[in-house]
């Protein structure tokens, strides 16, 4: 049985999405391409539907850094500033979704309060979500 409010993908209409990950000067890191490939495969492998507000938890760090432990194990998807790519009818357009790296604590917050509450907490606390060295948010 599926969650009644869960998004369902139609093989013809979609939704269709591409993932965009932006980081501000991550330095020498490895594994980002692998993590993006796992995210891209999640609809086929896990049955996940990639839409704004979706939380995709990889369960392991999104990248490796020689200088620090990487706390980000999940991404929160949101609308990006890249316009949709129209497709011929009846197909829905391809959406370009931003993938914001989040920690396990932040992922738990999203599960409890929702994606918008997490984004509001980041905004209230002045969190730069593009900073790969940022600490985990501690929302109230």
Instruction: Convert the pLDDT of each residue in 73-114 to its tens digit.
Output: 999 999 999 999 999 999 999 999 999 999 999 999 999 999
pLDDT score recorded for residue 1: 35
Q: What is the four-CA torsion angle of 75, 77, 80, 86, rounded to 10 degrees? A: 130
Q: CA-to-CA distance for 34 and 78, rounded, in angstroms?
A: 20
Give exposure, 23-32, as e/b (b: 16+ Cβ within 10 Å): beebeebeeb
pLDDT higher than threshold 90 for residue 138: no
| β-bridge pairing 72-79 and 55-57 | antiparallel
93 and 85 in contact (C-beta within 8 Å)?
A: yes
pLDDT-derived band at 5 (thresholds 50, 70, 90) equals very low
pLDDT higher than threshold 70 for residue 4: no
Looking at the DSSP bridge assignments, the partners of residue 72 are: 103
Mean pLDDT, range 114-124, rounded to an integer: 94
Give the global pTM.
Answer: 0.88
Among 6-20, 37-51, 52-66, the least confident range = 6-20
């Amino acid at each position: 049985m599926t969650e009644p409010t869960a998004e369902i993908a139609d093989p013809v209409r979609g939704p269709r999405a591409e993932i965009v990950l932006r980081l501000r000067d991550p330095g020498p890191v490895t594994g980002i391409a692998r993590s993006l490939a796992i995210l891209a495969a999640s609809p086929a492998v896990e049955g996940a539907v990639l839409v704004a507000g979706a939380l995709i938890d990889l369960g392991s760090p999104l990248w490796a850094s020689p200088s620090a432990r990487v706390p980000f194990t999940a991404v929160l998807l949101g609308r990006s500033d890249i316009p949709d790519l129209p497709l011929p009818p009846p197909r829905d357009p391809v959406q370009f979704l931003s993938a914001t790296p989040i920690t396990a604590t932040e992922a738990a917050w999203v599960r409890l309060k929702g994606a918008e509450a997490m984004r509001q907490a980041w905004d209230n606390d002045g969190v730069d979500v593009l900073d790969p060295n940022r600490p985990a948010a501690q929302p109230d």
